[in-house]
Amino acid sequence: MNIAEFKGEKTVSALAKRLLAEPGKDTAKTTQPEMEAALLRLNPQLSKIGELNKGTPIVVPDDFALDPTESTPPAGSLGEELLRQAESALANLRATLKARSEEFATQAEQVQTWLKSQQAKDFVKETPDLKETFSAAASAAKAAPKEQAAALEAETAALDKVMTEVKTFRITNLRANAAGLGGTRLTGSSGL
C-alpha cells in the first residue's frame, strides 16, 4: 500500500484521476472506476470527502499504475524493512558464533589428539625442553572447549536479549504505524 496526501479534491473521481499514472507501454491501463472503488474500500472516510481536511493521509492500493509523484510507500515500511534486516543479521550472527565455536572445539580436539600421538612423543624424546610446552598446550586445549562454550552461552544470551528488544520494537512500531496510517513513530520498550 502507498500513502497519498489529500489535497482538497471535491470528488473521489478527481482524487483517483490525480493518483493514477498516465497509461504507457510500461504501465497497465487502470480504469478510473476501479481505482475509485479501491480507494473507497480502503478509505471509508472518502464517502464524506467534503469533510476531510487537506493533508489527510489516504491509503492508496499499489496494484494500480500510480503517478509516482502523488503517493509514496509509508515511511513505516522502510523502518519495518530495516528492523527485519536487523533481526536477520542477529540470527546470522548467532549462527556464525555457533559455527566458529564448533570449529574451535574441533581444533582443540585435534591439538589434544596430536599431542597424544606418537609423533608428538617422538618430538619430546628428541627435544626434552618441549615436554613442558606440550603439557601446557594439552592443558589449554583441554580447557578451551569449556571456556568457549561458556563464552558462547553468554554471547547467545546477550543476542537473545537484543533480538527480543528488536522484535518488541518492530511490533510496537507496526502497531503505531497502523494506528497512524503510516505515520512514523519510533517507539519501543528499550532505549534502542
Residue-level pLDDT at 119:
93
84 grid coordinates: 527485519
Residue-level pLDDT at 81:
66
Find the mean pLDDT for residues 51-78.
73
Residue-level pLDDT at 82:
73
- 59 DSSP β-pair partners: 3
Banded pLDDT at 23 (limits 50, 70, 90):
low
- 5 DSSP β-pair partners: 57
Lowest mean pLDDT among 16-30, 64-78, 126-140: 64-78
Residue-level pLDDT at 12:
92
- Give me the chain's average pLDDT, please: 80
Q: Does residue 60 or residue 74 have the better pLDDT?
A: 60
For residues 115 and 152, give the distance between their C-alpha atoms in angstroms, rounded to a whole number. Answer: 26
| Amino acid at the residue 6 | F
Q: Does residue 63 or residue 6 have the better pLDDT?
A: 6
The helix or strand, by DSSP H or E, that contains position 85, with its residue range, turns out to be helix 75-115
pLDDT tens string 28-58: 566 778 888 989 998 899 999 999 888 888 8
136 grid coordinates: 601446557
